Amino acid sequence: MATDRPERIAVYPGTFDPLTNGHVDIIERGAALFDRIVVAILVNPEKSPLFSVAERVEMARAVFASRPGVEVDTFEGLLVDYARKRRADVIVRGLRAISDFEFEMQMALMNRRLSSTIETVLMMPAESYTYLSSRLVKEVFALGGSIRGLVPELVEARLAEKARITDSLVV
């Protein structure tokens, strides 16, 4: 049924180095709530990530290639400026545990101060992902542990490829 309602767009910002199944879980939940969810990968030249921004974009696009309503993009500068540019009025962030809360609250309130019309929605992933982080995935992988089921298969393959190329993974 056609409707005049404007498209409801949410931005899900982050570093995604690499994308984990916890991120995928949040993206799926966001895609069910909003017409479109834009996975926005921060271009941050100060950090030294394992995967380049181009690699992270390519992996996320491949994972969500057949998922309508999910878009992958990059952004620089203030998140609220990017959200405004994309006509998004919601910022989605995942909340795994109480330990995430302080930082997420700070960010949400700072973003609200910068733009009162953009609302932050904190979403809880499935319990099985509440301990999961990109940093731990990289650490466990670099030390030879199994990350099966914690990241999309394609990401696991790319990690293995990177380990082969560099001979070792520094995290």
Active site (annotated) includes residue 96: yes
Q: Are 74 and 35 in contact (CB under 8 A)?
A: no
Please identify which of the residues 23, 56, 138, 158 carries the catalytic annotation: 23
* Residue 37 CB burial class (10 angstroms; 0-12, 13-18, ≥19): buried
Active site (annotated) includes residue 134: yes
Rounded distance, CA 99 to CA 113, Å? 23
CB of 5 to ligand PNS, least distance (A): 28
In the complex with ligand PNS, the residue whose CB is nearer, 10 or 42, is 42
**Residue ranges in contact with ligand PNS by CB under 6 A:** 13-15, 42, 78-79, 107, 110-111
Query: Helix (H, G, I), strand (E, B), or coil: what is residue 98?
Result: helix
CB of 59 to ligand PNS, least distance (A): 15
In the complex with ligand PNS, the residue whose CB is nearer, 3 or 99, is 99
Active site (annotated) includes residue 47: yes
Please identify which of the residues 29, 93, 134, 138 carries the catalytic annotation: 134
In the complex with ligand PNS, the residue whose CB is nearer, 33 or 109, is 109
Catalytic residues: 23, 47, 96, 134
